[in-house]
Structure 1
Amino acid sequence: MHARPPGRGRALAFAAPLVLVLGAWNNLVVTRLPGHPASYVPANVTATVLLLVAARAVGLSWRDLGVDRRRLPAGLRWGGVPSAVVAAGCAAGLAIPALRPLFADARLAGADGGEVAYQVLVRIPLGTVLWEEVAFRGVLLAALARIVPPPAATGTAAVVFGFWHVRPTLSAVAANDLVEGPVLRGLAVVLGCAVTAAAGVLFAWLRVRSGSLLAPVLLHLATNTLGTLAAAAAHRLD
């Protein structure tokens, strides 16, 4: 038997606390878990499984969540093309010496091959992309779509996704010594979160247009893993 799709009230009762949990998770929770940073991947994988179980329990179908197997070919097409564009952009940027500093990230300056491999094969795919796509373009977007019109659902999920990146943006700004002073640092964080919110809109559009979570997963994975590889390569080439 299939669970009954959630009505507006039930979806709201599910989505409202989920927004609060997601708002806190990446900024306040995961970095404070025992064993961090080693606990990052297992904690996020566990959270992914639990969230999917909760979503199914309230009546969201696999199709609602973007994981209908029949939509995989469409997801592959819609996610594969922009991923190829990202790959071409990274390759072109590394090939032009004047553009290589744009990829540089001090957090990867001293990383050896094993650390880079862990980032692109484990931490990013499982700890970041899987969790974020299931949470934002899968569960949250599906729940919000039961409450508000699609544009509002996309916008709300994107804003939460942007807020999710406050701590990571602060870390990136500090590690790379991009700006000085609290005002400029604050502006850099606002800009970084706005950019990730815009990315959230793009990812949601791919999810809805393709009918598959695979589309944003592929683009998100390409952006993060190829960006990491490009950053590591930029330091070595210079």
Structure 2
Amino acid sequence: MTAPRTRSILLVVGVVGALVAVNLLAHFGPGAALALAVPVAAILLVLGGRLAGLGWREMGLSRTELRAGIPYAVAAVVVVFAIVSVAVAIPATRQFFLSDRFDSATAAAFAALVTIPLQTVLPEELMFRGVLQGSLGRVFGVRWTLTLGALAFGMWHVTSSLGLTAGNEGLSGMLGSGTPGRIAGVLGAVAATSAAGLVFGWLRHRTTSLLAPVALHWALNATGAVGAAVAWHLPT
């Protein structure tokens, strides 16, 4: 094995190890870590990637790549907002938006404009579609890079989905609120986020830009929050 390939493999191992540590700290660490761990880790991982030799283009962050992603970003936001609007308008699907976290317009707006972009979307895209995908691309071909990145993104959501059914009336009604329902909720969340990670990764590869997956990721999360606030004020 050549020295450059060995360094590339070690980079992947280091990035994955860092993601595991950050995930555990963000969900089981002290109070301050809950809000700061992921955003701070994203910045440190980008800086670490640069020190390890990852280029801005490899992470989808060069100026040219960011410009190339603008049309895809706009299209992603428009399509997602249209789909979620229809889903919230239909009683049969509206119930799945009934999350306790966003039962008020104020909470939903703050989440959509502040918490979601700064604590979730930007950090996760920098870490997964930026540093991880860039480092995986040095070791694997496109298919394996996208697959492994998607699986890692799905596993990242295990801890955050542990209470998923307990805080969502639609899901708890369908899956139950006991241990079997909790397990089903986690498995469903991992499957859904793995699929989303595959789409985000493909967008990153297709556009060579981090902007497109950032826009799609934000649109999905933000419309979920806003859709929940609207759903609570409509008949079920």
After TM superposition, the score normalised by the length of structure 2 is 0.89
Cα 1:229–1:143 shift into 2, 3 Å? same
Q: Which moved more, 1:13-22 or 1:51-60?
A: 13-22
Amino acid at match of 1:18: V
CA distance in 2 between partners of 1:190 and 1:174 (Å) = 15
Identity among equivalent pairs (%)? 39
Which of 195, 205, 208 is the aligned partner of 1:208? Answer: 205
What residue number does 2:99 align with?
A: 105
How far apart in 2 are the matches of 1:123 and 1:99? 25
Do the aligned residues in 1 keep the contact of 2:154 with 2:193 (CA within 8 Å)? yes
Matched, 1:182 2:182: no
Matched residue, 2:111:
119
- Deviation of 1:148 after TM superposition, in Å, equals 1.4
Name the structure 1 match of 2:13. 16
**What is the identity, as a one-letter code, of the residue corresponding to 1:221?**
W
Aligned match of 1:235 in 203, 212, 232? 232
Match of 2:59 among 31, 44, 65: 65
Unaligned segments of structure 2, at least 5 residues: none
Q: Matched residues in 1 for 2:88 and 2:188: separation?
A: 25
Greater CA drift, 177-186 or 143-152: 177-186
Q: Which residue of structure 2 aligns with residue 218 of structure 1? A: 215
Aligned to 1:34: 30
Length, aligned pairs only = 228
Counterpart residue identity of residue 137, structure 2: A
RMSD: 1.9
5+ unaligned residues in a row in structure 1: which ranges? Answer: 1-5
For residues 44 and 185 of structure 1, the distance between their equivalents in structure 2, rounded to whole angstroms, comes to: 24
Q: Is the Cα contact below 8 Å between 1:67 and 1:213 reproduced in 2?
A: yes
Report how far residue 204 of structure 1 moved: 0.4
- Which residue is equivalent to 2:154? 162
Tell me if the contact between 1:64 and 1:142 (Cα under 8 Å) persists in the aligned partners.
yes
Per-residue deviation at 1:34?
Answer: 3.0
Q: 2:47 is matched with which residue: 27, 44, 53?
A: 53
Distance 1:101 1:187 in 2: 18
Confirm or deny: 8 A CA contact 1:41 1:126 kept in the other structure: no
Aligned partners of 1:41, 1:125: CA distance in 2, in Å?
13
Deviations 1:6-45 (A, max 9, x none): 922112112113213313432x211233334xx5443322
Secondary structure at the residue paired with 1:85?
helix
Equivalence for 1:3: none
Structure 1 length normalisation: TM-score?
A: 0.88
Counterpart contact for 1:86–1:223, Cα < 8 Å: yes
After TM superposition, list the pairs within 5 Å mapping 1:125-144 onto structure 2.
Answer: 125-144=117-136
Contact 2:22 2:41 in 1 (8 A): no
SS in 1 for 2:31: coil
